[in-house]
Amino acid sequence: MTTEAIYLALSLRNVGTGIGVVHGWVFYPERLSGDVDCPDPGHFQRLTRDIYVPAGDTGCWMSR
């Protein structure tokens, strides 16, 4: 642990029939509930690796 980093964790589940790919994320400092407008794609932070979620499964694979 360090005072210079924030560690985030989340769970993913792909309920679709194809593979899901997570490319980036957006941080909201406040708690959100209810209907939320889609964020501008320019505000997303790219991941250093894409995360692949198998169809109908939990967990992930990471590309290099």
Q: pLDDT (tens digit, 9 = 90+) per residue, 5-54? A: 777 776 667 777 777 777 788 877 788 787 878 888 888 888 777 777 77
Cβ neighbours, 10 Å, residue 39: 10
Q: Per the structure, how many domains does the chain have?
A: 1
Q: Is the pTM for the entire model greater than 0.75? A: no
Rg, C-alpha atoms of the chain: 14
Q: Which residues contact 21 (CB under 8 A, 6 or more apart)?
A: 50, 51, 52, 53
What residues make up the domain containing 64?
Answer: 15-26+43-64
Q: With respect to residue 55, please indicate whether it lies within any of the assigned structural domains.
A: yes
Q: What is the pLDDT of residue 1?
A: 60
